[in-house]
Homo-oligomer: A and B are copies of this chain.
Amino acid sequence: METKVIKKIGVLTSGGDSPGMNAAIRAAVRAGFYYNLEMYGIYRGYEGMILNDIKKLDSKNITHVLERGGTFLKSARSEEFRTPEGRKKAYDNLRSHGIDALVVIGGDGSLTGAHLFYKEFGIPAIGLPGTIDNDLSGTDSTIGFDTACNTAIQAIDKIRDTATSHDRLFFVEVMGRDAGFIAINAGIGSAAAAILIPEKKMPIEDLVEKLKIRTKAKKSSNIVIVAEGGKSGGAAEIAEKVKKHLPYYDIKVTILGHLQRGGAPSSFDRLLASKLGVAAIEGLLQGKYDVMAGLINNRVVFTPIKKAIVDDKTVDDDDFRVAKILST
């Protein structure tokens, strides 16, 4: 594939926001300036591309954004972009600004959009993994995942205070629809009695048995972490079932919810986002199109988008084994 001449690059965020998106935007824009490119912000993701909500960015736009959660370019769903007509309109808008290439920051849906757009119009596009779910291949960690894990354990630390004071059993639901990455990290990190993730089935009977053994061992409080997407149901549902077997137990449920999406990015996510933002621009200049830039073993790796979004990344078996040893 030939390397095109690129002078103007558009940046957008799409899908569920994640902490570090601003840091990634900033890094891409600053790297663009470093390489004497013009940089454009496309607001509200593909929706903004269709509505022509596109603005040239200067260094002021990216001042004091690195440390903030969310995305100042905003994010939105776009039904219209799923249609060829929508994408054509979006492409025409891009061209009207003279935009040569795209940096798309988001999850699998967002990257799929970049892939389609590249295929249909040949516009050089590179994706960055921006999602708290960590469910993208081609990178050890997605931007926002580490922050979400920290947010989760800090919340669970608080919950443990009250759980211990009252000898209670808490079911805490964390995010993660298809993969239990946040759950396993937060579970190991908060000394959970059990961790329920989509990848592994744990029959209610086994869970009840485990909790009974712990009660006998006089563990005063118990915290069970539940990934929202588990096949056994959410935290409330599981708590209900467990209650039937352990009626004497004071059981509470907390669903952490959207607070896991926000907050100042962690040091890890700031570094990851900064590196990948630079890599996106350098990748485009080197003719890397239709790929996602990720960090594997601390090295930048470009993976074809189609491969990166295949949803087969699951919690490491060894992590699960360690979790088991530590919760007995």
Contact = CB atoms under 8 A, between A and B. Distances in A.
- The CB with the most chain B CB atoms within 10 A, among A19, A27, A262, is that of A262
A217 B58 CA distance: 12
Interface string A285-328: 00000000000011000000000000000001001001001101
Interface string A138-156: 0010000010011111110
Given A165-B17, A278-B326, A267 B69 contact: no
A140 B267 contact: no
A61 interface: no
B74 A162 contact: no
Q: Classify the secondary structure of A's interface with B.
A: helix
Contact of A70 (B154, B165, B259, B316): B165
Contacts of A152: 267
A302 to B, nearest CB: 15
Contacts of A64: 160, 164
Given A27-B326, A252-B258, A255-B255, A267 B189 contact: yes
Given A166-B76, A325-B31, A325-B278, A261 B17 contact: no
Interface range on chain A (Cβ under 8 Å from partner): 35 or more
A66 interface: yes
B217 A75 contact: no
A74 B221 CA distance: 11
A274 B326 contact: yes
Contact of A158 (B69, B166, B266): B69
- How many copies of this chain sit in the oligomeric assembly? 4
A41 B19 CA distance: 31
B153 A259 contact: no
B189 A271 contact: yes
Contact of A17 (B146, B162, B262, B325): B162
A118 interface: no
B162 A70 contact: yes
Given A189-B274, A268-B146, A326-B31, A70 B164 contact: yes
A158 B263 contact: yes
Contacts of A140: 298
Contact of A267 (B63, B153, B258, B297): B153
B274 A161 contact: no
A159 B325 contact: no
A224 to B, nearest CB: 14
Contacts of A297: 297
Nearest to A132: B162
A261 B167 contact: no
A280 interface: no
Contacts of A270: 153, 188-190
6 contacts: A27-B322, A33-B328, A66-B190, A68-B161, A161-B263, A253-B257
